[in-house]
């Protein structure tokens, strides 16, 4: 799936005025052509707007809007989130006695009452084919483990003499979802079960897997993280593996970087300022471990229409810009969560500012500088012009406040030009110190150079 990033490179060139060919961080990575997700993935996920309820008609309508309005700016991963296999899914609550649709080997398949094209054993392939025809990648959500229904029926594991009850760990359950038991990776046939699941995904044309209940507690699930990685390697199709939810422990950074391309650094992120403020510290803690093909994930963007169409984002306009600025300067994946059928122009403008997206997709040496009296400061270097700097200034207080940093602290000479990336406005020459007076919970994103 390396083409995902390379396609996006051409998109970002427009309006940037700089070539991205000299991608220093990517070029430095060994065996670049084998790196999945060399840049932070961008896309859309159904959870924030549809919860468990999305159906085929809604998915296709959304994918068409995404292809027309967001894909030209690099958003190309379309993901169907949790319980696509549950015929009676109802919203943000899970059925306590689920009856998931499965095949004869205990593998989840789409509920045909919600995804009619999946009938007759077709699975998600017809939907994935239509998503691919729109120029998008197709992603699915997957809970860790094996369906409890498969264990109850003691279905056979494909290609083995082992049955579901023999590989299940019935003591390993998810605290918030009743669908699965864990898989005991010490048991014969355990890897074969995961291999069979990802082979089925490969047959459907899946490009991206958001695998849930993987990181809490991390150590208890590490063997299944490794099993998913191994199954993807054996399935014959490149797939990005995104682990969810957090908090993935920072001391496990080397392990998670080895076995996944994205991993959540927090529990579910929603449109509340306290949650956004907490992500500053998490992204700072994870900053040293970000690399091409390994992206700490601050979670989806709860912007626009949310929660089964019941409300719009509670973030103020300034908070929404702060969200996009922080995710961009820290190079978190950009996964839109709002209902694209109700995409308004201000939200579209937030998501499609090419100069801001270039910070997320094409910068290096991203780093926080300090915390001082309710302000945060990050900087980065633009690819292709490392003498310049991107500078993000944040006011985390509830009142207007001035935030700034000295040019010397950024390694810049005295007297550089400044450009506001959100407005596109040239700000003239800056000497000594860069400062901006920011509104409550507000931010600025600048480019500084000669």
Domain edge (last residue) among 317, 352, 387: 352
The predicted model gives 3-11 an average pLDDT of: 36
| CA dihedral (282, 273, 390, 406) positive or negative | negative
Within a domain: 35: no
**190/87 same-domain check:** yes
**327/239 same-domain check:** yes
Residue 229 pLDDT > 70: yes
Phi and psi, residue 304, nearest 5°:
75, -145
**294/415 same-domain check:** no
**327/437 same-domain check:** no
The predicted model gives 177-188 an average pLDDT of: 97
Residue 96 — pLDDT band, cuts 50, 70, 90?
confident
pLDDT at 272: 98
Helix (H) / strand (E) containing 128: helix 125-133
Residue 372 — pLDDT band, cuts 50, 70, 90?
confident
How does the average pLDDT of the chain come out, rounded? 92
Within a domain: 342: yes
For 85, the token pair is 């296999």
**397/348 same-domain check:** no
Per the DSSP assignment, residues forming a β-bridge with 181 are: 146, 173
Asked if 127 and 62 touch (Cβ cutoff 8 Å), the reply is no
Residue 370 pLDDT > 90: no
Within a domain: 364: no
Domain edge (last residue) among 352, 382, 413: 352
For 99-136, write each residue's pLDDT tens digit.
Answer: 999 999 999 999 999 999 999 999 999 999 999 999 99
CATH code where residue 410 lies: 2.60.40.1180
For 307-327, write each residue's pLDDT tens digit.
Answer: 999 999 999 999 999 999 999
For 340-363, write each residue's pLDDT tens digit.
Answer: 999 999 999 999 999 999 999 999
**348/375 same-domain check:** no
Percent of the chain surpassing pLDDT 70: 93
Within a domain: 17: no
Residue 260 pLDDT > 90: yes
The total number of structural domains that make up the chain: 2
Residue 25 pLDDT > 60: no
Q: CA–CA separation, 361 vs 79, rounded Å?
A: 20
**105/136 same-domain check:** yes
The predicted model gives 66-90 an average pLDDT of: 97
The predicted model gives 157-166 an average pLDDT of: 98
Residue 8 pLDDT > 70: no
- Furthest C-alpha separation in the chain: 73
pLDDT at 33: 54
For 63, the token pair is 């994918």
The predicted model gives 350-377 an average pLDDT of: 96
Full strand arrangement of the beta sheet holding 168-173: 146-147, 180-183, 168-173
CATH code where residue 163 lies: 3.20.20.70
**137/248 same-domain check:** yes
Residue with tokens 């790196």: 35
For 196-210, write each residue's pLDDT tens digit.
Answer: 999 999 999 999 999
Phi and psi, residue 28, nearest 5°:
-75, -15
Q: CB-based burial of residue 367 (10 Å sphere; 0-12 exposed, 13-18 middle, 19+ buried)?
A: middle
Task: Using alpha carbons, select from 240, 237, 244 the residue that is nearest to residue 211.
Answer: 244
For 31, the token pair is 């065996």
Residue 448 — pLDDT band, cuts 50, 70, 90?
very high
Dihedral over alpha carbons 59, 61, 66, 69 (to 10 degrees) = -170
For 182, the token pair is 């864990």
Domain membership of residue 375 as a residue range = 369-449
Residue 28 pLDDT > 70: no
pLDDT at 273: 98
Q: Which residue has the higher pLDDT, 443 or 372?
A: 443
Residue 1 pLDDT > 50: no
**307/436 same-domain check:** no
pLDDT at 379: 98
pLDDT at 307: 97
Q: CA–CA separation, 330 vs 143, rounded Å?
A: 28
Within a domain: 361: no
pLDDT at 7: 38
Within a domain: 443: yes
Q: CB-based burial of residue 129 (10 Å sphere; 0-12 exposed, 13-18 middle, 19+ buried)?
A: middle
pLDDT at 353: 98
**432/382 same-domain check:** yes
Domain edge (last residue) among 306, 326, 352: 352
Q: Which residue has the higher pLDDT, 448 or 373?
A: 448
Residue 246 — pLDDT band, cuts 50, 70, 90?
confident
Residue 331 pLDDT > 80: yes
Residue 20 pLDDT > 50: no
pLDDT at 141: 98
**278/159 same-domain check:** yes
Task: Using alpha carbons, select from 346, 80, 381 the residue that is nearest to residue 201.
Answer: 80
**378/346 same-domain check:** no
């Amino acid at each position: 799936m390396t083409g995902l990033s390379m396609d996006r490179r051409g998109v970002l060139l427009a309006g940037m005025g700089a070539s991205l060919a000299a991608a220093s961080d990517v070029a430095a990575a060994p065996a670049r052509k084998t790196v999945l997700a060399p840049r932070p993935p961008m896309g859309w996920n159904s959870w924030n707007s549809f919860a468990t309820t999305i159906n085929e008609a809604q998915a296709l309508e959304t994918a068409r809007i995404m292809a027309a309005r967001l894909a030209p700016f690099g958003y190309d991963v379309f993901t169907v989130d949790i319980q696509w296999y549950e015929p009676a899914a109802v919203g943000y609550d899970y059925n306590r006695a689920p009856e998931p649709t499965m095949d004869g080997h205990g593998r989840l398949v789409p509920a045909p009452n919600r995804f009619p094209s999946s009938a007759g054993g077709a699975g998600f392939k017809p939907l994935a084919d239509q998503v691919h025809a729109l120029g998008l990648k197709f992603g699915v959500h997957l809970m860790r483990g094996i369906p409890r229904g498969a264990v109850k029926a003691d279905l056979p594991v494909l290609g083995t003499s082992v049955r579901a009850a023999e590989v299940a760990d019935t003591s390993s359950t998810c605290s918030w979802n009743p669908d699965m038991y864990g898989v005991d990776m010490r048991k014969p046939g355990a890897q074969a079960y995961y291999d069979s699941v990802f082979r089925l995904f490969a047959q459907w044309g899946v490009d991206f897997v958001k695998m849930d209940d993987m990181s809490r507690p991390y150590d208890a699930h590490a063997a299944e993280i490794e099993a998913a990685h191994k199954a993807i390697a054996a399935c014959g199709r490149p797939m990005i593996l995104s682990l969810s939810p957090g908090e993935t422990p920072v001391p496990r950074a080397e392990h998670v970087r080895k076995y996944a391309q994205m991993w959540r650094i927090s529990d579910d992120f929603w449109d509340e300022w306290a949650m956004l403020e907490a992500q500053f510290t998490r992204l700072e803690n994870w900053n040293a471990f970000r690399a091409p093909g390994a992206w700490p994930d601050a979670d989806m963007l709860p912007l626009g229409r949310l929660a089964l169409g019941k409300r719009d984002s509670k973030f103020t306009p300034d908070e929404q810009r702060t969200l996009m600025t922080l995710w961009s300067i820290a190079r978190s994946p950009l996964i839109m969560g709002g209902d694209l059928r109700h995409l308004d122009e201000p939200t579209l403008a937030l998501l499609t500012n090419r100069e801001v997206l270039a910070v997320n997709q094409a910068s290096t040496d991203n780093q926080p500088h300090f915390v001082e009296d309710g302000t945060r400061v990050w900087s980065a270097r633009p690819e292709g012009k490392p003498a310049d700097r991107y500078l993000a200034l944040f006011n985390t207080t509830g009142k207007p406040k001035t935030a700034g940093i000295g040019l010397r602290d950024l390694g810049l000479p005295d007297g550089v030009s400044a450009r506001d990336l959100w407005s596109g406005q040239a700000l003239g020459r800056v000497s000594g110190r860069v400062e901006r007076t920011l509104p409550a919970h507000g931010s600025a994103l600048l480019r500084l150079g000669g």
